[in-house]
Structure 1
């Protein structure tokens, strides 16, 4: 085995971790892959034999790459990512593949990623690397060009904004699915009163239709508004086929109309109530999703 092959083997041992870091930082699967690939390229150009802690070195590189991407988004003043849903990770209910499990470990649902999008880039990096991956502030500080004390304050500010938003999902997948099934039955029947029982009073519905309905992500708040929306679209609920899946590790639905993928829905269930629904129906982004792990 030559030196490059040996280095590639060592890199592959860290790939899943690096992509998990990048996904939490960027909310984009494609950009996460690009960040991991950039880390590999920088590793091949470095004096790898002098790196004592390869995992820490690679995590630092991915963190810097992601920070540059987040700052670049703001400098270009393009449509902010918080006006669109993060990319969903979709898998079978009977168990995600190891890569998917690493991506969505620790209840990294779409609702939490939406909250992370609202953070300042440096706050997001400090929070993700410290609170989610346990990196010491002494290692985070050089990435954001701050002192360890300032890096600690960045994470603290982020933590205050993230705390309680969204509620922690119920851990029992069977209980989650029971609530989603009840919701689907009520929606198909246009049962407004039953929907009000199932939905949390403060539920948030986020719907990202992309270019199909310009104007960015639509947000509805409150059980009556959300129940009214689904009661109105009773006919669409009736003609679509809803398949149970896991979306970022929690109960979701993959809906098709006439055999064509129509939407990915993610439900956040807390205290046996639906507290958040995230719907991606952007045709362009749906076409880019990797659904090869799903049974036909």
Structure 2
């Protein structure tokens, strides 16, 4: 954060807000002993991030299941789309309440398109027909295939989950930022490299780090390996210019504590975890910091 804020180049971005940005960044974390990259210089709502990850694993693309759990992180995109398409300048809170209360409204306006989870567990395929046309084939469950390949061929260099489906980017509310996960077995340890094409360091990165480590921990448990190293790599790694107050306050704080994650049970598959299965110990962060989301 300090490097980007003091040395990053100022750029005009898609949102019009403006950023300071560096290209290419790396962070490494050893997850041994339950350690997690859970940032302590501000409170990170890890249960919210966990609920989002569990939602990804369902393949769901509508925000209503998140809204009903009080998870707000995807609300701005469908709200902006609704206002743009209808001209109805409904307040965000009222839009979200309507998503929760009206299932038909949610079905029409709450969908994000084929974002993360859809690509992870139901990547679309098409079969060529003799008449020269194509028909939809069975979807590819990348998560299921990853678990299987780690079990039967641990030395493979193809343990990859990919979210960047070029053919469907224009249908997504937001193309995947954390786009490519690659896993690597080293003895009895499972390592992971995550490549993130675009990263909002103030608001997004704390969630991204937790979620990547959480998924790595779940995968490791399912394939009888110990969690190893998480390597995070960022492409366009940036801070928004309207996040000045958050950035300066966070940089003035000192990290504190050593948070650990306990997974309280091993469910039958990676798709069967529940929020109650996770407990964090030793998390004593500084207070929360807020800043606007650039849509």
On whether the aligned pair clears a TM of 0.5, the verdict is no
Structure richer in strand, relative to its length: 2
Structure richer in helix, relative to its length: 1
What TM-score results when the alignment is normalised by the length of structure 2?
A: 0.26
Which structure's relative contact order is higher, taking Cα pairs within 8 Å and 6+ residues apart?
A: 2
